[in-house]
Structure formats: C-alpha cells, structure tokens
Amino acid sequence: MKIKFFTLYPELFPGFLGFSLTGKALSEGKWSYETVNIRDYAFDKYGSVDDTPCGGGAGMIMRPDVLGAALKANYAGGRLIYMSPKGVPFNQAKAHELSQAEELSIICGRFEGVDERVLEAYTAEEISLGDYVLTGGEQAAMVMLDAVIRLLPGVLGNDESSSEESFEDGLLEYPQYTRPIDWEGRKVPEILLSGHHQKVNDWRKEQSLKITEERRPDLFKKYLDSKKV
C-alpha cells in the first residue's frame, strides 16, 4: 500500500507508525509513505496557507488556491481522504475497506478546517475518528492508518488475531488472561484451563455479549437486529 500525506508538518510522519508491527511492515515494504508539504505551494514569501473565514467567525481556514495547488501537483487520482470531525465515523468495517486500496492520499487539515471548494473539486471522502476535535489531521490519520495497516496481508502474522478482536463480529472482545494462573489471589477462570475448546468458545461468546450489552448498548442492539434478518 502506498500512502501520501498532504500536511503542514511532514516531520510528524511516520510517527508511531514507524514502531512495532506497523514499523516492521514499513521496513519490509508492505506499505510506504510520502509527504507533501502544503506550505511549499504558498504564493507569498511568508508561506501563508490560511485566511479568515468568509462570513466571519473564529479561527482561520486553509486556502483553496494553496491546497489546490498542492493536490494538482501531487495527486494523481484514487482514494482521497480528508480527516474531519464532520466526516463519516471510522470503524472496523471501514478499516477493512481501506485496507483493500493500493493507494491512499490523505489531507491533514489544520486551523478551523479547509475551504469546502477543494473537497468538492477533488471529491474528497471525509472521515471522522469520533465526536471530538484534534489540533490537526495528522494525529487522526495515523490512528486510522494503524487500524488499516495491521490488516494488510502478513502484518499480524496470525490471521486469527484480527478475526477474534473487538468489532470484528459486531461485539466487544471477551476478557483475556495469561500466566501466572494465580495473581495476588485473582485466578484465571477455570473454564479457560479445562482444555474443552467448545466450552471455552461458548464462555468467550457469552462474555462478549455481556460486555457489549453493558458498555455499548448501541452495538448490542445492532448485533441483535442483525440476527433477526
């Protein structure tokens, strides 16, 4: 997978994506990245990339002529994503969808956002990590890509690792345990030591259902509704 970041802070990359499994995958060529410094396409000697919002209001907006010039010179088509609080919510299904792409181009906004005309002109797909605001799209892009890159073939090393995680079947993951069996008086549930695989699987499913109902009733309802179909 080839990834291109349009950013005002190219030095932020690859960030934490350069460590652990994603870092190993980067060194092995399972994915690569390129940064485009939007400021390089500013029109004045000050490197100005923003201006006040039309109609008034707080903050500054990234100029369409500057960002547009950066895209015109470096974007050759394909999937273009803008990290935005008003975008479609990112989830595990979207991570799987994006992991199938050969190339991704990501606009990392700053200030109060970017001029809407650029998004319209390039048919950018807006994606949100959640109902909160960050100082920049770079952080959001890296979090999203951590979820995407780990799904690329050969990154996890064990296909079952991803299939049993939270959200893969619409439920939160069951509790996990390891040695020592007795830690400060807290013991691993006996069922997990039984060696009876079906009973272990049944227990895990029961725990997933219980945890999802308690912590994410929205997901639990969605799961129940899917079983009625």
- The residues, any chain, with a CB within 8 Å of residue 125's CB and separated by 6 or more, are 79, 80, 81, 82, 87, 88
Query: Looking at the structure, do residues 137 and 169 belong to the same domain, yes or no?
Result: no
Sheet of strand 2-7: strand arrangement: 32-37, 2-7, 103-107, 79-89, 125-128
Contact 117, 16 (CB under 8 A): no
* Phi, then psi, of 123 in degrees rounded to 5: 50, 50
Percent of the chain with pLDDT over 90: 92
Per the structure, the count of domains in the chain is: 2
Q: Are residues 131 and 170 in the same domain?
A: no
Average pLDDT on 65-82 reads 97
The residue written with tokens 């100082």 in the block is: 135
In degrees and rounded to multiples of 5, residue 180 shows phi and psi of -75, 150
Q: 124: Cβ–Cβ under 8 A, 6 or more apart, which residues?
A: 80, 81, 82, 107, 118
What's the rounded Cα separation, in Å, for the pair 136 and 129? 12
Return d(Cα 20, Cα 192) in angstroms, integer. Answer: 29
Query: Is 60 in the same domain as 145?
Result: yes
Do 64 and 168 fall into the same domain?
no
Q: What is the CATH number of the domain that holds 202?
A: 1.10.1270.20
Q: How confident is the model over 74-133, as pLDDT tens digits? A: 999 999 999 999 999 999 999 999 999 999 999 999 999 999 999 999 999 999 999 999
The answer to whether the Cα torsion of 141, 147, 151, 156 is positive or negative is positive
- Domain containing 140 equals 2-149
CA atoms lying within 13 Å on the CB side of residue 132: 6
Indicate whether 7 and 117 sit together in one domain: yes
92 assigned to some structural domain: yes
Residue 158 lies in a domain: no
Indicate if 145 and 168 belong to the same structural domain.
Answer: no
148, 142 Cβ separation under 8 angstroms: no
In a domain, 82, yes or no: yes
Pick the last residue of a domain from 149, 176, 206.
149
pLDDT of amino acid 169: 82
**Domain boundary pick from 108, 123, 149:** 149
pLDDT at 162: 57
Final residue of a structural domain among 125, 149, 173:
149
Tens digits of residue pLDDT in 154-179: 999 865 455 566 677 889 999 999 99
